[in-house]
Amino acid sequence: MAVLNFKRKATARPVSDGSLASFLNGFSIEVMPRTAAKIEDFRKILPEGTRVYVAHIEGTPIEEMVETAKRLTDEGFPVMPHLPARIIADAATLENWIERYADVGVSQALLLAGGVDKPHGDFEDSMQLLGTGLFDKHAFKRLHVAGHPEGNKDIDPSGGDDAVMDALRWKNDFQNRTDAKMALATQFVFESAPVIEWANRLHAEGINIPIHIGIAGPAKLQTMIKFAMACGVGPSVRVLTRRAKDVTKLVMPFEPTQVLSELARHKAANPDFNIESVHFFPLGGINKTAEYTSEHGKPASLAAHA
């Protein structure tokens, strides 16, 4: 099994065949209103056309979400706000949020259950949001949903993936019977082999929703472990815990170069491989992730985010 070998920036093994740069082309990045507010101008750090997800954490006022979306849209970036089902009271609230985003130029969204145990209102999962028909009504044509390469115990408490796979089949059918442009934006991972196996399984099952693989941007190992545990990352977190046995490495900056390189080479060797894009979680800060993508990637294309 391939294992992530995070490298220090100064010693990261370069990818000489260009596959990593190609793989990173058209990457997206996730921010929160409070972290976005610390960036003076995203145009100075991100390639033109980079899709920016805006995470909606429980307790964040919708006004802050819309203000952040407007600011990023005005700077020329396609914005994809999160719509977490379990914090949305009802269909009227959902429509109000969609309308607010549409008013500032947003026409896409990431639909997910959300990180709360009990729904605050009528919705429990992204399928119920899709079923309202409100996104088509307001011309939201690009709708991403969550993907879980290592399973999701919130959906399958037993540790299996029957419920996850049933949900993916439903979403795949939704994509096939509508004109929605969809993708699976996944939780971040630390190993390539399980991702490749999962992606190939989806293909074999006839699930043809493109995958935008989640990757943790450069961060201290200690920071990565904290976020991985909080987000319920699966078995690949063992890569981090093994490294944590060396306490001298806990405060060292590490990069996801090996896992990305392995996925990039697999994609180069298998052009039909269903990972379409890379989605960065900037756990060590937006600037650090932006610097990493600038060093290892190439400018994004506006066409990549159509």
Phi/psi at 276 (5° precision): -95, -30
pLDDT of residue 255: 85
Length of the chain: 306
Per-residue model confidence as pLDDT tens digits over 128-151: 999 999 999 999 999 999 998 976
Q: What is the pTM of this model?
A: 0.85
- Most confidently modeled of 61-65, 151-155, 162-166? 61-65
DSSP 8-state assignment for residue 48: T
Confidence class of residue 152 from pLDDT cuts 50, 70 and 90? Answer: low
Per-residue model confidence as pLDDT tens digits over 271-283: 999 999 999 999 9
4-31 b/e (C-beta count within 10 Å ≥ 16 → b): bbbbeeeebeebeeebbeebbbbbbbbb
Q: Could you please report the per-residue DSSP string of 109-178?
A: EEEE--S-SS-SSS--SHHHHHHT-HHHHTT--EEEEEE-TT--TTT-TTS--HHHHHHHHHHHHHHHHS
Is the CB of residue 52 less than 8 Å from the CB of residue 303?
Answer: no
pLDDT of residue 9: 39
User: Long-range contacts: 12-18, Cβ < 8 Å, 24+?
Assistant: 12/255, 12/257, 13/257, 13/258, 13/261, 15/257, 15/261, 15/264, 15/265, 15/296, 17/265, 17/268
Task: Say which residues have a Cβ less than 8 Å from residue 302's Cβ, sequence separation at least 6.
Answer: 48, 49
- Fold observed for domain 9-305: TIM Barrel (3.20.20)
- What whole-number distance in Å separates Cα of residue 10 and Cα of residue 12? 6
pLDDT of residue 15: 46
Q: Could you please report the per-residue DSSP string of 62-88?
A: HHHHHHHHHHHHHTT--EEEEEEGGG-
